[in-house]
Amino acid sequence: MEPFTITWGKYSISFMKIIFIRHSKVLFKWGKFYNSNTFDMACKAYDSGQSDVRLIIKYDITKIYVSNLNRTQDTLKFISTAEKDIIKTDLLNEIPLSSFIDTKLPLPTLLWKISGRLQWYFNSKRQAETRIQSKERINRFLSMIEHSKENCIIIGHGFYFAQLVNEMKHKGIVGNMCKRIKNEESREFRFLN
């Protein structure tokens, strides 16, 4: 579907419609405590987990970008469009998380998650991807959709989305830029051309 154009006299403004949907809730229960090995295993189990999809949404947009992780693939099945032009890409995969230290000592899950994200923020090589690398990956994705010039749906992830909105602001994309997005929540954005 082509971008929407508004014409006023000899002036016209065209924009792409971008709909971001966070995947459905994952069928995974985090434990309260982990050591470094069990935390890394839990992160992998969460990433390979299935989703408990409760939404059925109809759209008139056919181009859909989706990450390669199961939870977005499950959510995709319940998006109803006339046709689906599906593009699976690891550019949309969630920003990975892993243990921040090696220890056999059980530590609270929240400590593992916060410390891992702090390492990511400060570009620690302990994490599989640094903040700089995440920003580059997100900008590659935004360039890809910018060049397609087509309205699109993006099915993605929560922490990724929080970083995505930072980069969207720099590219002239407007919409609800609140960084927290719930499972199955959708946000609409306009990419001014």
Average pLDDT score over the chain: 91
Instruction: Work out the average pLDDT over 9-16.
Output: 68
| Nearest partner of 188 among 157, 151, 143, judged by Cα | 151
pLDDT value for 11: 64
**Block residue for tokens 């719930």:** 182
Sign of CA dihedral 171, 176, 182, 185: negative
Instruction: Work out the average pLDDT over 40-56.
Output: 90
Q: How confident is the model at residue 7 (pLDDT cuts 50, 70, 90)?
A: low
- Whether the pLDDT of residue 12 is over 60: the answer is no
Instruction: Work out the average pLDDT over 100-112.
Output: 98
Contacts of residue 85, Cβ cutoff 8 Å, sequence gap at least 6: 62, 63, 64
* Whole-number Å distance between alpha carbons of 42 and 28: 9
Percent of the chain with pLDDT over 90: 77
Residue range of the domain that includes 87: 4-192
- Whether the pLDDT of residue 56 is over 90: the answer is no
- Whether the pLDDT of residue 53 is over 70: the answer is yes
- pTM comes to 0.89
Residue 41 has, within 13 A of its CA and on its CB side, a CA count of 7
Q: How confident is the model at residue 122 (pLDDT cuts 50, 70, 90)?
A: very high
- Whether the pLDDT of residue 5 is over 60: the answer is no
Q: What is the domain-level CATH number for residue 124?
A: 3.40.50
* Whole-number Å distance between alpha carbons of 192 and 26: 34
Per DSSP, 131 falls in state H
How many structural domains compose the chain?
A: 1
Summarize pLDDT for 132-160 with one digit per residue, the tens: 999 999 999 999 999 998 999 999 999 99
* Whole-number Å distance between alpha carbons of 123 and 105: 25
